[in-house]
Amino acid sequence: MPKRTTTTAAASPEDVEAGRAPTPEEQQRVSTMTRHPSSLGADNPIEHHYSRRSARAAAGGDDDDGQEEEEEEDESVYDRLAPRRKMLVVALLSFCSFLAPVSSTSVLAATPEVAAEYGSTGTVINASNAVYMLMMGLSPIVWGPLSEVYGRKLISQIVAVLFFGCSIGTALAPNLAAFFIFRALTAFEGTAFILVGSACLAIRMLTHCSHTSDIYRPVERATAMGWFLSGTLIGPAFGPFLGGIIVTYASWRDIFWLQTALSGVAAVGTLALLPETIHHRKIDDLAGHSARQRAGILWGMINPMRVLRLYRYPNLIMAGLASSAVVWNMYSLLTPIRYVLNPRFNLTTPMQGGLFYLAPGCGYLTGTFMGGRYADYVVRRWIVKRGGVRVPEDRMRSALPFMGGVIPACMLVYGWSVEKEVGGIPLPVVMLFVQGVAQLFCFPSLNTYCLDVMQGRGAEVIAGNYFVRYLFACAATACVLPAVEAMGVGWFSTISAAFLVAATGCILAAIWWGKGWRDNVDRKKDRKRRAKREKETPASGAPGQLGMEMELRGDVHQ
């Protein structure tokens, strides 16, 4: 039995269990991570490194030989893809992420035509969009864990092919029930593009060694995320414009044939061009286990509750509510444009109403060039202010003036100018454009903050964030038309503005108390983790079989 050593300040629980003191290099990494507390969400890479090593050793795996080689290789992980290859990956993922959001709104301009063909009403067809948003919200808690287990590339390829098939089904839908079903299935696949894209670009995945890695360095991450998110935001704005042109000159079904063609391009692109960006697939940890053990461990890895349990962190709840407020604003603004602005300005064709969608779309495109860069600038500025220490909550400061001031002001001016019929066409167009720009100053910082504070479980935390935000998008899509008809566009815009101001309070709370919240949850989880290890560790000091299975499926990080 190995001789136990005295625990030092830098030692982890696994050091004690394995009978090994940390090396000076490992002590330095612990010290560095203490100075840079970008909450690891209880996924402390040092602890995870030791526990994985202990589990492999107990299972007869590789010893520490070659460990230094692995760690030296990881030092250059940010540069493992050439800049041109990174740009290609960003462009491909942004294009893929464009598909599901553009499909969510492209049918809006054709709602009366779809309703007429199926003998229904515009409210019912808009309900299909609400179902679409609901499925976009539910799917991340499935695809997020799967992408952690099987890798980004495989999941992207699967969902691209399924999205292509479901688009064909929507275009050929013979009745309203089939239309609803294929729309829902399309949404379920499409969100995976957004989730996996975020993971490929900015999530730092834990490997089997102690380093973490991703494509972009932390101070570059929001810029890349801004470019990627341009696809997710331009899609909802340009979708109705494209739909308006198509339905003016052709059948509404051609909207979905165009979607089919675009998804075919995405499928070919993911199959031919997308590299695998995850550095260690969790499925590879299951070698040597029996079929029964593999099934149990695998379920622990892909269990959707892994995603939902992340909301024990109050700071993630605050970030989720802030993201949801912006998404609520976006869809409550885009959904009723044809019903609100066409009558207001006496417009008669779908294409004329679709032109209004160009204003927020151009705003999103313009914000792409500035929002992410501004978020990275704010992070660098606060690193200097803190003497070289990077605190994740500082990133959200870049969103404050836009979420708390610019977007609510735009909503109020837009809503009441339309309600009171003042300002003509230019005023609402300008407001739509400005709030589109402002949204791109909010999303990159909020998304990247979630990644920064949950390193090692990035796909899952993004899945949880999208789960919440698309539930709010579902609610906005479903209630906006009845609400506007009942209270008017002015008062409904006032409610949206108030939601945004309240969400700004959530961001402020996370900035002020986020680190304390994270530390408090981590302490509770540490106590629970140690109790589990003590219970499952035999007297010999080596991890028991159940303890090893818990390590593999990630229970100790719940």
Q: What is the DSSP string of 222-291?
A: HHHHHHHHHHHHHHHHHHHHHHHHHHHHS-THHHHHHHHHHHHHHHHHHHHTPPP--S--GGGGGTT--H
Domain annotation covers residue 2? no
Domain annotation covers residue 295? no
Angle made by CA atoms 73, 204, 52, in degrees to the nearest 5: 70
Q: Please give the average per-residue pLDDT across 272-280, as a whole number.
A: 74
Higher pLDDT, 368 or 68: 368
pLDDT for position 458: 67
Question: Using CA atoms, how far apart are residues 556 and 558, in angstroms rounded to an integer?
Answer: 6
pLDDT for position 186: 93
Secondary structure letter of residue 175 according to DSSP:
S
pLDDT band at 397 (very low <50, low <70, confident <90, very high): very high
Q: Please give the average per-residue pLDDT across 470-488, as a whole number.
A: 87
- Please name the helix (run of DSSP H) or strand (run of DSSP E) that holds residue 213, with its range, or none: strand 212-213
pLDDT for position 539: 53
pLDDT band at 57 (very low <50, low <70, confident <90, very high): very low
Q: What is the span of the domain harbouring residue 485?
A: 79-284+301-519
pLDDT for position 200: 64
Amino acid at 505: G
Question: Using CA atoms, how far apart are residues 176 and 179, in angstroms rounded to an integer?
Answer: 5
Secondary structure letter of residue 406 according to DSSP:
I
Best CA proximity match to 470, nearest among 478, 482, 458? 478
pLDDT band at 279 (very low <50, low <70, confident <90, very high): low
The length of the chain is 558
Q: Residue 543: helix, strand or coil by DSSP? A: coil
Q: What is the CATH number of the domain that holds 510?
A: 1.20.1250.20
pLDDT at 48 over 50: no
173's tokens:
């839908």
| pLDDT tens figures, 548-557 | 555 555 544 4
pLDDT for position 76: 57
Q: Please give the average per-residue pLDDT across 286-304, as a whole number.
A: 82
Q: Which residues contact 131 (CB under 8 A, 6 or more apart)?
A: 180, 183, 184, 187, 474
Q: Give the lowest-confidence range in 388-392, 408-412, 468-472, 534-538.
A: 534-538
- B/e letters for 435-447, b = 16+ CB within 10 Å, e = fewer, are bbbbbbbbbbbbb
CA dihedral 451, 454, 460, 465 (to 10 degrees): -60
Domain annotation covers residue 555? no
Q: What is the mean pLDDT of the chain?
A: 76
pLDDT band at 199 (very low <50, low <70, confident <90, very high): low
| pLDDT tens figures, 298-354 | 888 888 888 888 888 999 999 999 999 999 998 888 877 877 888 888 887 778 887
Question: Using CA atoms, how far apart are residues 159 and 383, in angstroms rounded to an integer?
Answer: 39
pLDDT for position 77: 58
CA dihedral 198, 502, 360, 93 (to 10 degrees): 0
Place of tokens 């622990």: 300
Q: Residue 38: helix, strand or coil by DSSP? A: coil
pTM of the model: 0.69
Q: Residue 212: helix, strand or coil by DSSP? A: strand
Q: Give the lowest-confidence range in 13-17, 208-212, 240-244, 412-416.
A: 208-212
Place of tokens 């409210």: 123
Amino acid at 201: L
Domain annotation covers residue 525? no
pLDDT band at 75 (very low <50, low <70, confident <90, very high): very low
pLDDT for position 415: 92
Best CA proximity match to 459, nearest among 109, 168, 199? 199
Amino acid at 524: K
12's tokens:
């982890």
Domain annotation covers residue 533? no
Q: Give the lowest-confidence range in 83-97, 263-277, 324-338.
A: 83-97
Question: Using CA atoms, how far apart are residues 202 and 84, in angstroms rounded to an integer?
Answer: 17
Domain annotation covers residue 532? no
Asked whether the beta carbons of 212 and 155 are under 8 A apart, the reply is no
Determine phi and psi for 279, rounding to 5 degrees: -95, -15
Domain annotation covers residue 37? no
Secondary structure letter of residue 206 according to DSSP:
E
pLDDT for position 26: 44
Question: Using CA atoms, how far apart are residues 237 and 429, in angstroms rounded to an integer?
Answer: 13
Secondary structure letter of residue 205 according to DSSP:
E
Q: What percent of the chain has pLDDT over 90?
A: 25
Taking residue 250's Cβ as centre, other Cβ atoms within 10 Å add up to 12
Number of domains comprising the chain: 1
381's tokens:
């500025």
Question: Using CA atoms, how far apart are residues 256 and 448, in angstroms rounded to an integer?
Answer: 32
Q: Please give the average per-residue pLDDT across 130-143, as a whole number.
A: 86
Amino acid at 333: L
Question: Using CA atoms, how far apart are residues 241 and 37, in angstroms rounded to an integer?
Answer: 45
Asked whether the beta carbons of 250 and 115 are under 8 A apart, the reply is no
Higher pLDDT, 433 or 148: 433
Question: Using CA atoms, how far apart are residues 54 and 49, in angstroms rounded to an integer?
Answer: 9
Question: Using CA atoms, how far apart are residues 429 and 157, in angstroms rounded to an integer?
Answer: 39
Distances, alpha carbon 266 to alpha carbons 93, 200, 249, in Å = 9, 16, 26
Q: Which residues contact 125 (CB under 8 A, 6 or more apart)?
A: 107, 111, 114, 115, 118
Domain annotation covers residue 447? yes
pLDDT for position 417: 92
